[in-house]
Structure formats: C-alpha cells, structure tokens
Amino acid sequence: MSSTYNHGVAGRSWNSDAVLLQEVYSAGTLVGSLVNEELRNGGVDPQLFSFLSWVRLLEPVTPGTLSAETGIPPTTIRDYLRRLRERGDLVRLPNERDGRSYLVKLTPRGRGLVDRGAPLVGAVFQRVEPHLPRPVEEYAERARELREALAATAAAEAERDLDVA
C-alpha cells in the first residue's frame, strides 16, 4: 500500500513509490543542464563527457566493466565506444587476460577533453555546494548506493528479457 509524499505544493502530493525516482530524475535533468552549459561555455563538447570521465577513471577498462559501473546497457556502451573511437577520443586494445574481450583507454585528445572539462564541472559544484544542507560525502554515498541499485535492477530486467526471448 502506497502512501503519499507532500511535495510542498499546496494540495498536491506524489505517491511515495514514485517520489525518489521523480526527485532523482529531476535532479539529473538539472545537473545535465548546469554542467552542459558550463562545458559549452568553456569550449568543451558536452556530448558523452560524463562517459569519457568514467573511461578515464577506470582505464584501461573492458566494455563489460563500463556497463557494470555505469548501468548503461552493453549495446549502448558499444555505440558510445564506436562514436568516441571515430572522434579520436579513445583507442581499443587487446585484452591479454581475456581474448574474447578488449580494453579501451583514452587517447591524448580524449584525456585533454576530460582534463579541460573537469574544472568546469568543479565550478558548477562550487556553485551548488553552498546550497547543500549536509556534507557532500553523504550525498555522494547515497547517490552511489542508488546508482548501484538502479544498475542491479536494469541488469536483472535485461536478464529476464533474455530468458523470455
């Protein structure tokens, strides 16, 4: 049985089953708007910037690990990697531990994009942080937990879809 969540708008409320996802979805939209504008204003193409940053964090990395860490489906990962390889932002390397897979890492061009963009993302954070009522570490930990739960849900649903097919 669902309860309601008072959103703070007179006479309106959300079903408590949806409120977390609604808040996260709206927060993600706001993050995207603020960060993309800052990146564009700083001369950095925002397209796939966050994904490039994940590659930088984990490189050299397999597509499967990128999918597991980000929650992005493997087919989308392959598309992103193809596009970034075509742009010259990353290279594909043999995986000596597993000949069936491969590794990716950033090229100097891709690394330069992440290096130029990171301070711009930091500038957005500096403007947001004063409005946070709790330490940033609390938000980061809860966001990581939520991302992991969402990724596990997506993986289970993808597995279920494969079983049905």
- Sorted by where each begins, the domain ranges of the chain are 19-118+136-164
Q: What is the distance of C-alpha 116 from the center of its chain?
A: 18
pLDDT given for residue 10 in this prediction = 57
pLDDT given for residue 7 in this prediction = 59
Report yes or no on whether pTM surpasses 0.85.
Answer: no
Kind plus residue range of the DSSP H or E element containing 106: strand 102-106
* Average pLDDT of the segment spanning 100-126: 96
- Multiple choice CATH, 19-118+136-164, 3.40.50.720, 1.10.10.10, 3.10.450.50, 3.40.1390.30: 1.10.10.10
- Which of the pair, 43 or 99, is modelled with greater confidence? 43
- Which of the pair, 29 or 161, is modelled with greater confidence? 29
Q: How far apart, in whole angstroms, are the C-alpha atoms of residue 65 and residue 77?
A: 10
The count of residues in the chain is: 165
pLDDT tens string 41-92: 999 989 999 999 999 999 999 999 999 888 888 999 999 999 999 999 999 9
